[in-house]
């Protein structure tokens, strides 16, 4: 055949392919989500094979392992005892609560590790929502933000480096930025859950934290989070959310979930110069693990290909429960 250009020329050898590779993965791209709980032992999470709820002592060892593998940021999520859950989720700003204690312990033992936190009320709420639910069953926006600001300040005081509002209340980024600045925490960054969708992919995560909405007879409780999390059908709306978060002072924008929303990552990358993060969520993780356990897929290859797809779409950072495994595989080459 008389072909002027043959794309396969640059695919012929491993070294040629490496030379022209457009995107790559690095362990420092990963943010490692970790679940913590009170107690003295590690609890496996049934819906997330390989993931655990960590007690504070074993948490230190796991974070040290991640650091040695090249992971430079972790994010903490608490499983809170039911006895501490209330309608106003006041435990979220308890200075001696589980997350502030975990942050202080980590900063004492491994000060170099970047610590990101989750700012939302659902782990601490007896109603299971990210905000305060009124007696009429409405998730209250402005009242919720007051508690989110208090939560963010307590986390910053404990030593958090990045505050991660995941609640999707309107105006919360600006309010948290102002609250942090007023308390002298101008150096603490905000990684905003900018486009967080009302997704079916969160099931295993809610099992891990026991944080799903709880229907009660005392008042009407919304059965899902669709009045504040985004509609999976919407893409342009994500641009609006990103523009608002930038204006309000976000340092990093996040898309959650990741794999089913690569188009949203791409759109935000075109619209913003800020770093973009993708959350490779629990449902995505669980599906890969389940298929690998059945021998239907090669786990290492699928995980690395999936993580690379986030980078190709435009993400700079990836929150993933695969973080340590992926970092280890990347070291192996």
92: left (phi over 0), alpha (psi -120 to 50) or beta: alpha
Helices and strands (DSSP H and E) totals, the chain = 11, 12
Q: Could you give phi then psi for residue 283, rounded to 5 degrees?
A: -65, -40
> Cβ neighbours of residue 332 under 8 Å, at least 6 residues apart?
none
256 is catalytic: yes
Which SS3 state, helix, strand or coil, does residue 165 take?
strand
Query: Are 166 and 130 within 8 A, CB to CB?
Result: yes
What token pair was written down for 324? 């340590």
**Catalytic option among 196, 225, 289, 311:** 196
CA dist., res. 206 & res. 122, Å (int)? 10
Alpha-helical runs (H) found in 226-281? 236-248, 262-271
3-class DSSP state of 119: strand
* C-alpha–C-alpha distance, residues 285 and 48, integer Å: 7
Assess whether 107 carries a catalytic annotation. Answer: no
**What ranges make up the beta strands (E) of 6-87?**
30-37, 43-44, 52-54, 73-79
- Say how many C-beta atoms besides its own lie within 10 A of residue 319's C-beta: 25
Q: Cα dist. 170→139, 185, 186 in Å?
A: 12, 22, 22
Catalytic residue, chosen from 79, 85, 256, 311, is 256
Closest CA to 275 of 244, 317, 237: 317
Outline where 111-171 has alpha helix (H). 141-158
Enzyme catalytic residues = 196, 256
């Amino acid at each position: 055949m008389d072909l002027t250009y043959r794309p396969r020329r640059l695919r012929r050898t491993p070294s040629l392919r490496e030379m022209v590779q457009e995107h790559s993965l690095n362990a420092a791209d990963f943010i490692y989500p970790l679940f913590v709980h009170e107690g003295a032992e590690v609890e496996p999470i049934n819906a997330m094979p390989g993931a655990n709820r960590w007690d504070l002592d074993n948490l230190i060892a796991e974070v040290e392992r991640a650091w040695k593998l090249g992971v430079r940021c972790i994010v903490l999520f608490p499983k809170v005892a039911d006895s501490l859950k209330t309608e106003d989720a006041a435990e979220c700003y308890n200075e001696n609560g589980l997350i502030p204690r975990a942050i202080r312990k980590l900063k004492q033992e491994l000060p170099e590790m970047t610590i990101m936190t989750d700012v939302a009320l659902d782990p601490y709420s007896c109603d299971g929502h990210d905000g305060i639910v009124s007696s009429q069953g409405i998730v209250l926006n402005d009242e919720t933000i007051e508690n989110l600001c208090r939560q963010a300040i307590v986390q910053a005081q404990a030593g958090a480096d990045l505050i991660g509002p995941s609640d999707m209340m309107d105006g919360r980024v600006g309010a948290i930025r102002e609250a942090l600045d007023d308390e002298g925490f101008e150096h603490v960054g905000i990684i905003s859950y900018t486009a967080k969708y009302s997704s079916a992919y969160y099931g295993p995560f809610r099992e891990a934290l026991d944080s799903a909405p709880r229907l009660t007879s005392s008042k009407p409780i919304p059965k899902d989070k669709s009045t504040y999390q985004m509609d999976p059908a919407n893409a342009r709306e994500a641009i609006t959310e990103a523009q608002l978060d930038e204006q309000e002072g976000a340092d990093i924008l996040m898309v959650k979930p990741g794999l089913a929303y690569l188009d949203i990552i791409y759109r935000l990358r075109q619209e913003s110069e800020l770093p973009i993060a993708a959350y490779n969520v629990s449902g995505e993780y669980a599906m890969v693990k389940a298929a690998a356990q059945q021998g239907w897929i090669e786990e290492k290859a699928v995980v690395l290909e999936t993580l690379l797809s986030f980078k190709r779409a435009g993400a700079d950072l990836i929150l993933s429960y695969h973080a340590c495994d992926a970092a280890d595989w990347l070291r192996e080459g």
